[in-house]
Amino acid sequence: MQAIKQFFILASASPRRKELLKKAGYKFDVAVSSIDESKIKTKELTPVEFACKAALAKANDIAEKFPDKIIVAADTIADFDGEIIGKAQTAQQAEQITRKLFSKPHKIITAIAIVKKNAGLELVDYDTTIVYPVKMSEKQIEEHIASGIWKDKAGAYAIQEGGDKFIDHINGSETNVMGLSMELFEKMIKKAQKNGNT
């Protein structure tokens, strides 16, 4: 089990991803990627393709600076009937997203990319969780937007920060909805260590 806890660099500022990895006993540094997901063209990309492309772009961005280290990056989006929904930039956008996503079941997709440049290692995979929401009242929507919890979160909510009260049930990984499928990550990091001679 100890071999799994390999040191790596996490290319993410997400406190939720850091918390999940620390809780699992991983040792890592953080180097935040300068990649702006909003600049990635969504036209002709499926939600899965978009998430994978964004995660890989973030990992490669940091790998340029640390070519001899394993770099881990991730990208989380909501998929609403094929429409890619990322982070809201304003309260108005957050309200529009909330009304849309909590009207019926939607998917949360998190792609994970693991890169080690000088070993020629590049792994990308994703996990999908279906979220079945509870219909929110006007008052609940108003309170959710006023709380500011939606900031910097894909789909404008966080399952671990009170968002679970608006969710009836999920089909899939809960940590995937939080921003990093730990089940998928553990499989990928094992493969990375094997293939990257770490």
Q: Looking at the annotation, which residues are catalytic?
A: 75
Give the distance from CA 140 to its chain's centroid: 25
- Closest to 70 in 3D by CA, of 179, 178, 197: 197
Q: Is 168 in contact with 149 (CB distance < 8 Å)?
A: no
Using the CB atoms, write b or e for 83-93: b if 16+ within 10 Å. ebbbbbeeeee
Amino acid at 127: D
Q: Is 150 in contact with 94 (CB distance < 8 Å)?
A: yes
Q: Is 144 in contact with 157 (CB distance < 8 Å)?
A: yes
